[in-house]
Chains A and B, each alone.
Chain A
Amino acid sequence: MEKMIKLTIDNKLVEVPEGTTILDAAKQIGVEIPTLCYMHLGDMGIEHKPGGCRICVVEVEGRRNLAPSCNSKCAEGMVVNTHNMRVLNARKTVMELMLSDHPFDCLVCAKSGNCDLQSIAIKLGVRELHYKGEQSTYKVDYSPSIIRDMDKCIMCRRCETMCNDIQTVGALSAVNRGFESVVAPAFEMDLEKSTCTYCGQCVAVCPTGALTEKDHTNQLIRDLADPKKTVVVQTAPAVRAALGEEFGMEPGTLVTGKMVSALRQLGFNSVFDTDFAADLTIMEEGTELLDRLKKHLEGDKDVKLPILTSCCPAWVNFFEHHFPDMKDIPSTARSPQQMFGPIAKNYLAKQMGINREDMIVVSIMPCLAKKYECQRDEFKVDGDPDVNYSISTRELANLIKQANMDFLGLPEDEFDNPMGESTGAGVIFGTTGGVIEAAARTAYEVYTGKTLKTVDFKALRGMEGIRSATVDFDGLPINIGIAHGLGNARKLLEDIRDGKSQYHAIEIMACPGGCIGGGGQPLHHGDSSILKKRAAALYREDEGKAIRKSHENPYIIKLYEEFLGKPCSELSHKLLHTHYFDKSTDIEIE
Chain B
Amino acid sequence: MAKIKLAKSKVDKLVEICKSFDNEGSELINVLHKAQQTFGYLPAEVQEIIARELNVSVAHVYGVVTFYSFFSMVPKGEFPISICMGTACYVRGGEKVLEEFKRQLNVPVGETTDDGKFSISCLRCVGACGLAPVVTVGERVYGRVSVGDVADIIKEYQQ
Contact = CB atoms under 8 A, between A and B. Distances in A.
Q: Do A and B bind each other?
A: yes
A274 to B, nearest CB: 29
Interface in B80-133: none
Contact of A171 (B7, B8, B57, B61): B57
A186 interface: yes
B59 A173 contact: yes
A170 B59 contact: yes
17 contacts: A170-B60, A171-B59, A173-B57, A176-B67, A177-B66, A184-B59, A187-B47, A187-B58, A189-B2, A195-B59, A581-B1, A585-B2, A585-B48, A587-B4, A587-B6, A590-B5, A590-B6
Contacts of A583: 1
Given A588-B4, A590-B5, A175 B48 contact: no
A234 B131 CA distance: 76
Contact of A589 (B8, B47, B58, B67): B8
A185 interface: yes
Contacts of A185: 59
A164 B57 contact: yes
Given A194-B2, A585-B3, 11 more contacts: A164-B60, A171-B57, A173-B57, A173-B62, A175-B59, A176-B67, A184-B59, A587-B49, A588-B5, A589-B5, A590-B6
Contacts of A195: 57-59
B52 interface: yes
B29 to A, nearest CB: 15
The 3 closest A-B pairs by CB, nearest first: A170-B57, A173-B63, A173-B59
Contact of B57 (A176, A184, A186): A186
A185 B63 CA distance: 9
B3 A187 contact: no
A584 interface: yes
Contacts of B45: 587
B150 interface: no
Contacts of B56: 170
A245 B71 CA distance: 49
Given A176-B66, A587-B49, A194 B4 contact: no
A193 interface: yes
A187 to B, nearest CB: 5
B153 interface: no
A590 B12 CA distance: 12
B153 to A, nearest CB: 31
Given A585-B1, A586-B3, A589-B8, A175 B52 contact: no
Contacts of B2: 189, 193-194, 585-586
B24 to A, nearest CB: 17
A588 B67 contact: no
Interface string B30-69: 0000000000000011011101100011111111001100
A171 B47 CA distance: 14
A587 B46 CA distance: 11
A288 B61 CA distance: 40
B152 to A, nearest CB: 35
